[in-house]
Amino acid sequence: MGKERVAIVGCGQTKHVATNDGSIATVVRQAAAAALADAQMTWSDIDAVVIGKAPDFFEGLMMPELYLADALGAVGKPMFRVHTAGSVGGSTAIVAQDLIAAGVHERVLTVAFEKQSESEAMWALAVALPFQPPMHAGAGGYFAPHIRSYMRRSNAPDHIGILVALKDRLNALKNPYAHLHEHGITFDSVKDSIMLWDPIRYSETCPSSDGAFAMVMTNEKGGDAAAAAGRPPAWVKGTAFRSEPTMFAGRDQVNPRGGQECASDVYKQAGITDPRKEIDVVEMYVPFSWFEPMWLENLHFAEEGTGWKLVEDGVTQMDGDLPVNCSGGVLSTNPIGASGMIRFGEAAMQVRGQAGEHQIDGAKTALGHAYGGGSQFFAMWIVGAEKP
């Protein structure tokens, strides 16, 4: 089959904020330029550009690859745009690395972004689907009943969500690019914040952000060259997507089979048999705090019903043995279309030793995870410091 190895040799992102003053092109180009600078390449070194973002209604701009061709140096090159709902940042990274794995291109630039302040993201998320029963309550209202189900199934104590939110927001203080830097945050400040959709509190909910994340990927030759120049790449060891229907009779929305199978697939590709032991650091998509214990189970890090114990025991803290979301995660930064790629990219940054203050020392193997829709689209990758 001749599968080529893929190396991530450059990562870049914007400082995520509620409203970025730049134009859409500016935001995207900033992240891309930062990734190119990190890779010590220029626009003309790139063979193809793959972008990803969530629904175009968020910005009021249809098919943004058309408008962004110039800003991303894509003129005369193949340019592509992926849209798989919330998992899109992850899917985009996978499609980009497929171009290299398949031997189609040698150097690919990939960018995922969202400029939620441009249009009205809250409206776009809550738009009543014609002929569908009214949702009444926004995204949190969709997930809250399932979180309640998890709490009941697992007998998890009420405060687990608060612990996750506190951890992620404190981690974010070590990430200069994160949107929320809540210097005064405490357990009580999270607990006392307004309850939005019981059991989800305001401080346990992701923000709405403007931002972009970009990566430069190359083939083995490019990866080796970067390593030789003292810029260790992250190597792709496994990638997978899974999708399942939004709603069907008997669907498990708490521990979706799609997520479980996607994880099993990606672990198998990476040769991982004991994820809890073999993975050093995890970046998972947690937009509402309770998703951390739920995903820990879904991703086979904990037996069903016990994910919350890992949280309570501090296992997922930066000083625990399975640190989760050292970047601050989606709870601290959420430009929806970019969030998946931020997870994938932060995983790459960890194994490259590039994560600065939120670096886990000696991280060799990292999992990047993204999900979207009604917990139905999953995209995951495993990256490592060593070649597969």
User: Do residues 4 and 102 lie in contact, with contact meaning Cβ atoms separated by under 8 Å?
Assistant: yes
Please tell me the distance from the alpha carbon of residue 169 to that of residue 192, in angstroms, as a whole number: 16
Both structure tokens of 329? 């995660």
DSSP 326: T
Both structure tokens of 230? 């003292």
Please tell me the distance from the alpha carbon of residue 162 to that of residue 159, in angstroms, as a whole number: 5
The residue from 44, 134, 184, 273 that contacts another protein (CB under 8 A) is 134
CB of 43 vs another protein, minimal distance in Å: 13
Please tell me the distance from the alpha carbon of residue 139 to that of residue 336, in angstroms, as a whole number: 12
The residue from 13, 14, 91, 333 that contacts another protein (CB under 8 A) is 91
Torsion of CA 289, 293, 296, 297, to 10 degrees: -140
Establish if 339 lies at the interface with another protein (CB under 8 A): no
Biggest CA-to-CA distance, the chain: 59
DSSP 382: E
CB of 363 vs another protein, minimal distance in Å: 26
Stretch that binds another protein, among 39-47, 74-82, 162-170, 282-290 (CB under 8 A): 74-82
**Of 104 and 229, CB closest to another protein:** 104
CB of 332 vs another protein, minimal distance in Å: 21
Establish if 23 lies at the interface with another protein (CB under 8 A): yes
Establish if 56 lies at the interface with another protein (CB under 8 A): yes
Establish if 74 lies at the interface with another protein (CB under 8 A): yes
Both structure tokens of 44? 């003309």
Establish if 344 lies at the interface with another protein (CB under 8 A): no
Query: Within 231-270, which residues bind another protein (CB under 8 A)?
Result: 240-250, 254, 256-258, 261-262
Establish if 111 lies at the interface with another protein (CB under 8 A): no
Residue 33, CA distances (Å) to 42, 73, 110, 321, 342 in order = 8, 10, 11, 35, 16
Which residue type is seen at 30? Q
Of residues 386, 356, 388, 350, the one with CA closest to residue 368: 350
The residue from 45, 47, 138, 189 that contacts another protein (CB under 8 A) is 138
Contacts of 184 (CB under 8 A, 6+ apart): none
**Of 146 and 167, CB closest to another protein:** 146
CB of 227 vs another protein, minimal distance in Å: 23
Stretch that binds another protein, among 129-137, 183-191, 282-290, 325-333 (CB under 8 A): 129-137
Residues near another protein (CB under 8 A), total: 99
53: helix, strand or coil: coil
**Of 251 and 276, CB closest to another protein:** 251
CB of 170 vs another protein, minimal distance in Å: 25
Establish if 224 lies at the interface with another protein (CB under 8 A): no
Stretch that binds another protein, among 144-152, 171-179, 183-191, 306-314 (CB under 8 A): 144-152
CB of 143 vs another protein, minimal distance in Å: 8
